[in-house]
Amino acid sequence: MIPRLADRYRVIAPDLPGFGFTEVPVERGYHYSFEALAKTMLAFTDALKLKRYALYVFDYGAPTGFRLAMSHPERVTAIVSQNGNAYEEGLGSAWALIQRYWREPSTENREVIRQALDFAGIRSQYTDGMPHPERIDPAGYTLDAALMARPGNMDIQLDLFLDYANNVKLYPAFQKYFRKFKPPLLAIWGRHDPYFIPAGAEAFKKDNPNAAVQMLDTSHFALEHGRAVHLLTCGCTPDLQFRWNPHPERSEEPAL
């Protein structure tokens, strides 16, 4: 999607610490929590002197990006949330093991989740709920599995699973931000996502009259479906062209 947007926007796509190819030296003693991720992203935007930007958030990027928006609402011109949840009604049944870990953060419950993050488990995050899972490019989940296998990375993910409970506690604050600032927001969602279900997308409209919802016949990793990329980059999604790019010329306003 990035190359298809880059002719119209300045697109900046940082990997969060613990994800992709972002590495944090062990000697820094970085504490992996969503609050820490948000502080890192805020420092990143400050280092680049980004004063106004639209946010594209997905999954863990949502509670991270919404924290940025709350800390500097004047900077955020629009939000696209692709399966990026902010409502308890949006939590699907796939969270059951993790919610048990929240209630009982024991070594035993941690190990149950660790076992679920093997190659088959990572692949299922891409394929479960997809109408044609055989069409999913294996490159994405194969790379994810390779990055997960790096020393220490599995425990980073397990720490963040545990800390996600603090995001749920912060959901009311996110919702208050939506009500107060009413940012133009597009919730584009895979209707078969077992993690963040459609009710979470529809809920944005309760708090933000400037929210629009687009459901796709896909799952959690919606951009693995070509139609999602097409809708997001061609302006075919309801209100997207106006909300995301109100000027016909190339926008220098960053999309983060």
Domains and CATH numbers, the chain: 2-95+169-255 (3.40.50.1820)
Q: What pLDDT does 5 receive? A: 85
**40-64 pLDDT per residue, tens:** 999 999 999 999 999 999 999 999 9
Q: What is the pTM of this model?
A: 0.89
Over residues 8-26, the mean pLDDT reads 92
Over residues 13-31, the mean pLDDT reads 92
Mean pLDDT of the residues in the chain = 90
Over residues 186-211, the mean pLDDT reads 97
Over residues 179-206, the mean pLDDT reads 97
Over residues 21-27, the mean pLDDT reads 90
Q: Is residue 72's pLDDT more than 60?
A: yes
Question: Is residue 2 very low, low, confident or very high in pLDDT (cuts 50, 70, 90)?
Answer: confident
Q: What pLDDT does 246 receive? A: 37
Over residues 107-115, the mean pLDDT reads 97
Residues of 201-229 as b/e, b for ≥16 C-beta within 10 angstroms?
Answer: bbbbeebbebbbbbebebbbbbbbbeebe
Task: Classify residue 196 as exposed, middle or buried by CB count within 10 Å of its CB (0-12, 13-18, 19+).
Answer: buried
Hey, what amino acid is at 4?
R
139 or 246: whose pLDDT is higher? 139
If phi > 0 it is left, if psi is from -120 to 50 it is alpha, else beta; for residue 42 that is alpha
Q: What pLDDT does 228 receive? A: 59
Paired strand residues for 87: none
Q: Measure CA of the first residue to CA of the last residue in the chain; give whole Å.
A: 13
Q: What pLDDT does 230 receive? A: 58
Question: Is residue 1 very low, low, confident or very high in pLDDT (cuts 50, 70, 90)?
Answer: confident
192 annotated active-site: no
Contact residues for 39 (Cβ-Cβ < 8 A; gap 6+): none
Q: Which of 132, 192, 220, 225 is catalytic?
A: 220
Q: Is residue 252's pLDDT more than 50?
A: yes
Question: Is residue 250 very low, low, confident or very high in pLDDT (cuts 50, 70, 90)?
Answer: very low
Over residues 106-129, the mean pLDDT reads 96
